[in-house]
Amino acid sequence: MGRKNLNLANILVLVGMGWLGFSFWLPYGTADRVFRIEKRTAKIAQRFADTVAARGKIQWKDHAIRGEILAAVNKKCGYTIPASSLYLRVATPPRHLRDHCFLFEGKHYLYLVTNTPASVIGRNKTLIGPAENEQPKEDPMDAPPPTEFSAASRMPLPIDDALPFETYAWPKSRFVGTHTVFFIPSDGAAAFTRNLNDRYVGARRVPQPGDGRFDIDTDKRENAYRGRDDERWIYQDPKRPPG
């Protein structure tokens, strides 16, 4: 009498029940974590976009300006402790972009601010977004994206400091748990792409200036468009005109 029925079989049953409960919780817990990361990232990207746009013309080689922008965004986000994992820091951009952008690093995402290449904008606003009265001839989303991009398509384009600004945010690694990439132009509507093929990841797979712009060879469909990078970009606010 008084002995507890805690034998090996009971232990295995308890462990199995615990694992079963954890397996039911895991998808919800993971989805909630991804949602929180993406929501925070979208806000940080918008603050970078607003801060850079407010300054007007920027000399990308000026590290003092880069530091001022970083300090301002950290302050707006409430990140006042440098030792915090959320504190935003300076990162080193690819060599061909070092004189044309600022790159910053957060806990889960990288943030790039730059100008739109002159060759993308041209003399009009065609590539910012389609006219409202344009009628699509076919659905560009039906066309499968290419499996590989040529080196020429990834070459840096001429950049003019007087052109509109662009802000991008993308995952630091595949292990972040989220794939979403954010794009905020200073002269149009913010958009995002699911980036399910990990086109943009880390410091090597970096968005190129102009990548998120509307491709003149495609048509807008509802709240999405095909970008110059051939990704499907979705407007964060479909009610806002694209440019």
Q: Could you tell me if 74 and 111 are in contact, meaning their C-beta atoms sit under 8 angstroms apart? A: no
Instruction: Determine the straight-line distance between the first and last CA of the chain, rounded to whole angstroms.
Output: 80
Which residue reads 């790159």 in tokens?
103
* DSSP letter for each residue of 121-155: HTTSSTTT---TT---SS-GGGSPPPS---GGGGS
pLDDT in tens, the chain (243 residues): 445 556 766 666 666 665 565 454 444 445 677 888 999 999 999 999 999 999 888 999 999 999 999 999 999 999 999 999 999 999 999 999 999 999 999 999 999 999 998 888 763 344 444 333 333 344 333 333 333 333 333 444 445 457 899 999 999 998 877 889 999 999 888 999 999 888 999 998 999 999 999 876 555 566 888 899 989 999 987 555 444
Q: Could you tell me if 110 and 172 are in contact, meaning their C-beta atoms sit under 8 angstroms apart? A: yes
User: pTM, whole model, 2 decimals?
Assistant: 0.73
Contacts (Cβ under 8 Å, ≥6 apart) of 25: none
Dihedral sign (CA 49, 53, 58, 64): negative
Exposed/middle/buried for residue 126 (C-beta within 10 Å: 0-12, 13-18, 19+): middle
Contacts (Cβ under 8 Å, ≥6 apart) of 220: 129, 130, 134, 136, 214, 242
Contacts (Cβ under 8 Å, ≥6 apart) of 68: none
Nearest Cα neighbor of 227 from 210, 217, 243, 215 is 215
